[in-house]
Structure 1
Amino acid sequence: MTSPGSFGVRPSAAALTLVPADAGEGHVVLMVSGEVDMATSDDLARALTDLLRQRSPRRLLVDLAGVRFLDSSGIQALVVGAQRACHHGCDLALVNVPKPVRRVLEITGVASLLGLGPSAGDDHRGTVSSPDSTR
């Protein structure tokens, strides 16, 4: 992976950090850490949109390993991001999803929409593929 590039590290007042990095072969990783809530979800949504527009990745990996809290506004940012990724012909994947965050996604019924399979024994990855993802 390379350095974060022009996006840099973006901390917000409510302790959310977003660090994008190129992962090679048309893949971009957005490492998310902190709390994704009403105060920070717009930052996440904006970062996803900016990455899709400016880098045009074939695959956007959203690494949630450092996320301590996710509320409904954060869920909305992920769902809208997945829809935008599909529109841009990009596969969006959630990776390293902590158990409490995964549980919130399951309870709200969006886990499968975001490509997360059953939690028992999986590798904590999910993928939302674009309609034409035959790559």
Structure 2
Amino acid sequence: MGSNPGGRREPPDTLEVRVRSLDRVRVLATLTGAFDHHNAHRLTEALQRALDAGAAVVLLDLSGVTFLDSTGVTRLLLARRSARAAGGHLALIAPSRPVERLLSITGVDQVLPSYPTPQAVPAAGPEPDRDSGGTAG
């Protein structure tokens, strides 16, 4: 009974990305909603603006992410690569249960450092990448 076959409705643009500076070199990007192929570009755009503005440490608060697909995982890895290419670091903050689950299943939790709060991230930036020696986790 509805205009949607199967009764399933998935809004394509449900991701909100808010970025704020924590200090001179650290920014916190807070993602809220479904992080998927429909809207993953929003993280890339926000990250690029932060890096262009001189951010050396990008913290991604994923506590409000309700859904993550493979495109979202890929964008997180690309965000890490972009931060490193700019001489910076990237860390995840308080990933939600759905995010933690997918990162664990894919092994990405071994590559991207995660912390419970922005304050828990060392002042010098996140821990060195576990795969920086060429050994992927």
TM-score normalised to structure 2 length: 0.74
Percent identity, aligned pairs only, is 29
Q: Report if aligned partners of 2:33, 2:66 keep a CA contact under 8 Å in 1.
A: yes
Larger radius of gyration: 2
Per the TM alignment, residue 71 of structure 1 is displaced from its structure 2 partner at its CA by 0.3
RMSD of aligned alpha carbons: 2.4
Q: Report if aligned partners of 1:114, 1:128 keep a CA contact under 8 Å in 2.
A: no
Pairs aligned (count): 114
Q: Report if aligned partners of 1:57, 1:90 keep a CA contact under 8 Å in 2.
A: yes
Q: How does 1:1-135 map to 2 (within 5 A)?
A: 13-53=12-52, 55-116=53-114, 123=116, 127=126, 129=128
Aligned structure 1 segments of 4 or more residues deviating by more than 4 angstroms? 128-131
Unpaired segments of 5 or more residues in structure 1?
1-11, 117-121
TM-score normalised to structure 1 length: 0.75
Aligned amino acid, residue 20 of structure 1: V
Q: Deviations over 1:18-75 (max 9, x none)?
A: 100010141111010000011011111221122112x211211111111000000001
More helix by share: 2
Aligned amino acid, residue 51 of structure 2: L
Unpaired segments of 5 or more residues in structure 2?
1-10, 133-137
